[in-house]
Structure 1
Amino acid sequence: MKGIVFTELLELVEDKFGLETVDYIISNSDLESNGIYTSVGIYSFSELSQLLQHLSERTQISIDNLLLVYGEYFFRVLEKSCPELLLAYTDPIEMISAIESIIHFGAGKIYLDLELPAFKVIEKTENSLIIDYKSSRAMCYFSLGLMNKTFEFFNSTATIELEKIMEDGTEVRFVIHKN
């Protein structure tokens, strides 16, 4: 998993819960990296899982809710690192429906060892989108946070329903209706 996912998570935790919480989640996890991350490094997903688990225990916030907030927070990374990508679209439905074919295709070519979630468009209209998510990492709430911010970026709103196909969150259907 790309290091930026770790560095940004720790920044969010420090901003929201303080440096003591960052120290707590790192100290209580068995991390191969010892909790030392660079944004360009590649790290095990198990490290992220441990950090989130300890953060959830410490804050009494579910991992799903933490991932949702983190996805919303992480959107700013996209705004900073690839503004041309965001500006290539004029509509949030168009951008979200292009996740698999454009964003993941490009990232997969640059970072060959990344395991990215799969997205499959089931149905698309001008004001609605049904898209399936599949990932062994079950970070669907992170994706939901990114989708929420995508609509906000385009000064739009939507109702986004998350329907779990698999109870563990490894397969999810997003039903999106633009307001």
Structure 2
Amino acid sequence: MKGVVFTEFMELVESRMGLDMLDRIITEAQLPNDGAYTSVGTYDHAELVRLVMALSSATGLAIPALVHMFGQHLFQRFSVGYPALFADATNAYDFLSRIDEVIHVEVRKLYPDAELPKLACERPAPGELVLLYSSPRGFADLAAGLIDGCIAHFGESITVTRTDLPRQDNLHRTRFHMAVAAA
């Protein structure tokens, strides 16, 4: 997993819960590098899981809720840090539909060793989008947070229905059905 994910997680914890909390979870997670991450480095995703578990233990907040919150934060940070990726998108569906074929291509140019999830999209009807997340790492809660962050970024009223699917070929799979909310 790219270090930018780790550095952004630490930024979220520090900005919302304080430096003492960040220090506490780094200590509790017993990380091999004592929490020293660079944005361009590559690290074991299990280290992020350990940080989230430590944060859950310290705050009493559920792990899925924390990961979802992080996804929302991460989307906002990406929209600020990488504005060129947002230039051609006029709404959430446009942006989400471009992730695998445009955005992930650009990410791989910057980080050739990035291990990205597969995000297949289809438009079954006007006002609807279905996104199928599949990854060897089970971060569907992060994907859900990113989706909600995207919807908020574009200021749209879209309902999201999540369906966790059985694993297939050792991949975690989740279906996100989105529909424009009725006025």
* TM score, norm. by length of structure 1: 0.91
Q: Indicate how the Cα distance of structure 1 residues 79 and 122 shifts in structure 2: closer, same or farther if over 3 A, else same.
A: closer
Quote the offset at 1:160 in angstroms: 0.6
Residues 61-84 of structure 1: CA deviation (Å, up to 9, x unaligned): 121111110111112221222112
Quote the offset at 1:32 in angstroms: 2.1
Quote the offset at 1:87 in angstroms: 2.1
In structure 2, C-alpha distance between the alignment counterparts of 1:148 and 1:137, rounded to whole Å: 20
Aligned to 1:129: 129
Contact 1:72 1:145 in 2 (8 A): yes
In structure 1, C-alpha distance between the alignment counterparts of 2:60 and 2:136, rounded to whole Å: 24
Aligned to 1:96: 96
Unaligned runs of 5+ in 2: none
Unaligned runs of 5+ in 1: none
In structure 2, C-alpha distance between the alignment counterparts of 1:124 and 1:7, rounded to whole Å: 37
Aligned to 2:75: 75
Residues 153-177 of structure 1: CA deviation (Å, up to 9, x unaligned): 222111011110038x921000000
Aligned to 1:6: 6
In structure 1, C-alpha distance between the alignment counterparts of 2:11 and 2:90, rounded to whole Å: 30
C-alpha RMSD of matched pairs (Å): 1.7
Question: What's the secondary structure of 1:159's corresponding residue?
Answer: strand
Aligned AA for 1:32?
P
Quote the offset at 1:126 in angstroms: 3.5
Quote the offset at 1:5 in angstroms: 0.9
The count of residues paired between Structure 1 and Structure 2 equals 178
Contact 1:135 1:170 in 2 (8 A): yes
In structure 1, C-alpha distance between the alignment counterparts of 2:103 and 2:124, rounded to whole Å: 18
Question: What's the secondary structure of 1:107's corresponding residue?
Answer: helix
Question: Equivalent of 1:170, from 135, 149, 172?
Answer: 172
Residue 111 (structure 1) aligned with residue 111 (structure 2): yes
Aligned AA for 2:172?
T
Quote the offset at 1:150 in angstroms: 1.4
In structure 1, C-alpha distance between the alignment counterparts of 2:40 and 2:18, rounded to whole Å: 24
In structure 1, C-alpha distance between the alignment counterparts of 2:155 and 2:13, rounded to whole Å: 27
Contact 1:93 1:126 in 2 (8 A): no
Q: Where in structure 1 do 4 or more consecutive aligned residues deviate above 3 Å?
A: 122-126
In structure 1, C-alpha distance between the alignment counterparts of 2:109 and 2:87, rounded to whole Å: 21
Residue identity (%): 32
Aligned to 1:45: 45
Question: What's the secondary structure of 1:36's corresponding residue?
Answer: coil
Aligned to 1:21: 21
In structure 1, C-alpha distance between the alignment counterparts of 2:124 and 2:83, rounded to whole Å: 25
Aligned to 2:120: 120
In structure 2, C-alpha distance between the alignment counterparts of 1:134 and 1:65, rounded to whole Å: 20
Quote the offset at 1:124 in angstroms: 4.0
Aligned AA for 1:106?
E
